[in-house]
Structure formats: structure tokens, C-alpha cells
């Protein structure tokens, strides 16, 4: 006979994730065993708990009522165990993190390395991609996302501002001059970012409210910020990108930040996002708190940049 408490855990996780396969990954068991637990509960109750399709599970009316009761029971047990082990606060297990490629390598990985030293009982599994991933379906505990968050069921916590900068190399400026107004950009080689942002390959957005759009064009486009950075340093053209890509180059004089007649649109922030849960795991909560404290005030990538670049005109 299958354990009824484990069945409650399986049902609750499958309902929350909307997928038997995602529940199986989250619980570390086979999808066959997850299915057996759900089937056993439905057989015992004589009621169908899920509408099942090839893509997603949705709760029936009976399933919604059963979920409320199951979450109360599981919550009461979690609370009891939490009270009994209140002194045990060291993060353990595996923390699966998904990061955007350039920011992850440049800024998040040094922080992760320091966090790992402070938490030796924790294993950290890092994935780096600029692809928009489904945390729940792919089994990630947490992701860092850069930009303006779309509406979603995920919980988000702001970690730090990500400021933008328009820049070019000294060699490019010597050959072509520096733009002074947003209208001047039409005469310059504006290197384009092909993923959707307010600094896309065809239009750049300016103004404190992002209400000024300027058509731009250039001879090079890329879907990765480091590729655009390399092109700017080589003197190919201008780029309008986050400061973390260019802060070292600005401090060392390899590129020059450019001031126009309109303020740069500061449209980015870094966020930690994770699936909603009644009890946030210690490993997730501790890591987010660590990043918030580490990047408080002026984040490390912006230290030493001109005040006007940081929005202090």
C-alpha cells in the first residue's frame, strides 16, 4: 500500500507545478511512481482530481477542495518540523540556479563562489542561458532575470538596478565624432541587440519615462551583450547596453560613455524569481538575501563610473 502522506506531497507538488514530470523531478522520484500515487488517491476517493492533457494538469472541482485540505495538512507538518528544528538554519541539498549568460559570468558567478564558501553543505548547480526558461517545468529553484518583468505567477525580488550606457571607443570617436543629440544617432553605426529590449536593433528608447524612440541602424547585430562589447572595443560602432558590460572598459579608457541631449532610459533591474510556495526553502531565501546585501547601494559593476552615467546629473 502506498504511503498516504507521500501521496499528499506528490499531489500537492503536481497541482502546483501543473505537470507530473515536473513533480517527479522536484521530488526525486520516477514519473511512474508519481502517477501511481495520484491514481491511488483518486481510486480511494472515488473522484477524479485532475483534468489531464498532454501539456498540463488542471484541477477538477474535487481536486481544488482536496488541494486546500492537503496544503493545510502539509503546512501544519512543516510548521511543526520548523519549530522542532528552529536551530538548524544551514542551507543544505542542491540549489539549482539559472542565470543570463553575460551577467551570470561577470557578476553573479563571483557572488556565487563566495556564497558557496560560506555554505559548504550546499551543492550549487548553475545554468547559463539568455533563453527564457520555464523554472517550474525545467526544475530550477531560482533564476536571475534582467529587464522589465512580465506578469507571471512567479515571485520576484529586486536585487539591484541595472543602468544603461551609450558608448564608443576612442578610435571610433576620432574617425566619426561623437553624437551630441539623439537625432545625431541616425548618422552613426549603432550596433543592435536582437533580443527584445528598449535598446533593440532598430529602435532605441530615451527619456526618463522612456517616451522618446529613435530609429537606428548599423552593420552588426548580436543576441549577446559580450559580442556587442567586443565590437565596440574594436571601434566598429556605438552600443546602448547595461553598464555591467562596459564598466571595466570605461574605467580603463577602452570605451567612452556618451552624453546626449536626452537622458538614457534606465529600463533594467536585476530580479531573483522563483515559484510561489508557502515556505521558501532556506537555501533560496539565504541566497537571495546574500545577493541583496552584496549589491546594495551602488552595485560593484557601477563603482567608479561618472555620476551622470549613474543618473545623477
DSSP codes joined into one string, 207-228: STTS-EEEE---S-EESSHHHH
Question: CA 103 to CA 109: how far, in whole Å?
Answer: 9
Q: Is the pLDDT of residue 201 over 80?
A: no
DSSP 97: E
Instruction: For CATH 1.10.10.10, list the domain ranges present in the chain.
Output: 4-84
The residues near 206 (Cβ < 8 Å, ≥ 6 apart) are 182, 212, 213, 214, 260, 262, 263, 264, 265
CATH number of this structure's domain 93-162+268-302: 3.40.190.10
In the sheet with 256-257, reading across from the earlier edge strand, the strands are: 239-242, 164-168, 256-257
pLDDT of 313 strictly over 50: no
Whether the pLDDT of residue 157 is over 60: the answer is: yes
| Cell matching residue 207 | 527619456
Tens-place pLDDT, residues 31-82 = 899 889 989 888 888 889 888 877 788 899 888 888 888 888 877 776 666 5
Would you place residue 87 in the very low, low, confident or very high pLDDT band (cuts 50, 70, 90)? very low
CA distances from 44 to 38, 41, 99, 150, 184 (A): 10, 5, 43, 41, 73
Among 194, 136, 157, residue whose Cα is nearest residue 289 = 157
All CATH 3.40.190.10 domain ranges in the chain, comma separated? 93-162+268-302, 164-257
Integer angstrom CA distances of residue 154 from 62, 77, 257, 273? 25, 24, 35, 6
Q: What is the pLDDT of residue 278?
A: 65
Q: Is the pLDDT of residue 85 over 70?
A: no
Q: Which CATH class is domain 164-257?
A: alpha beta
Q: What fold does the segment set 4-84 form as a domain?
A: Arc Repressor Mutant, subunit A (1.10.10)
The better pLDDT of the pair 199, 88 is held by: 199
In this prediction the pTM is: 0.69
Q: DSSP letters of 132-188?
A: ---HHHHT-SEEEEESPPPS-SSEEEEEEEE-EEEEE-HHHHHHH----SGGGGGGS
Residue 190: is its pLDDT beyond 90?
yes
Amino acid at each position: 500500500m502506498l504511503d498516504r502522506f507521500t501521496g499528499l506531497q506528490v499531489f500537492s507538488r503536481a497541482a502546483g507545478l501543473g505537470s507530473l514530470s515536473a513533480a517527479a523531478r522536484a521530488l526525486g522520484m520516477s514519473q511512474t511512481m508519481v502517477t501511481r500515487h495520484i491514481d491511488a488517491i483518486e481510486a480511494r476517493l472515488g473522484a477524479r482530481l485532475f483534468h489531464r492533457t498532454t501539456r498540463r494538469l488542471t484541477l477538477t472541482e474535487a481536486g481544488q477542495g482536496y488541494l486546500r485540505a492537503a496544503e493545510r495538512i502539509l503546512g501544519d507538518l512543516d510548521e511543526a518540523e520548523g519549530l522542532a528544528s528552529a536551530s538548524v538554519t544551514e542551507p543544505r541539498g542542491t540549489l539549482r540556479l539559472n542565470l543570463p549568460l553575460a551577467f551570470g559570468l561577470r557578476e553573479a558567478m563571483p557572488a556565487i563562489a563566495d556564497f558557496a564558501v560560506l555554505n559548504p553543505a550546499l551543492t550549487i548547480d548553475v545554468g547559463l542561458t539568455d533563453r527564457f526558461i520555464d523554472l517550474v517545468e525545467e526544475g530550477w529553484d531560482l533564476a536571475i532575470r534582467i529587464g522589465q518583468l512580465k506578469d507571471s505567477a512567479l515571485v520576484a525580488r529586486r536585487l539591484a538596478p541595472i543602468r544603461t550606457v551609450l558608448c564608443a571607443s576612442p578610435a571610433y570617436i576620432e574617425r566619426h565624432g561623437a553624437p551630441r543629440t539623439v537625432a545625431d544617432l541616425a548618422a552613426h553605426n549603432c550596433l543592435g541587440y536582437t533580443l527584445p529590449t528598449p535598446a533593440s536593433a532598430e529602435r532605441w528608447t530615451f527619456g526618463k519615462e522612456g517616451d522618446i524612440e529613435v530609429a537606428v541602424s548599423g552593420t552588426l547585430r548580436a543576441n549577446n551583450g559580450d559580442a556587442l562589447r567586443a565590437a565596440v572595443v574594436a571601434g566598429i560602432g556605438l552600443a546602448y547596453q547595461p553598464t555591467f558590460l562596459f564598466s571595466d572598459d570605461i574605467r580603463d579608457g577602452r570605451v567612452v560613455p556618451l552624453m546626449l541631449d536626452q537622458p538614457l532610459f534606465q529600463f533594467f533591474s536585476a530580479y531573483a524569481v522563483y515559484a510561489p510556495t508557502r515556505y521558501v526553502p532556506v537555501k533560496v531565501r539565504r541566497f537571495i538575501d546574500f545577493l541583496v546585501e552584496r549589491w546594495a547601494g551602488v552595485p560593484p559593476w557601477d563603482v567608479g563610473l561618472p555620476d551622470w552615467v549613474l543618473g545623477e546629473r
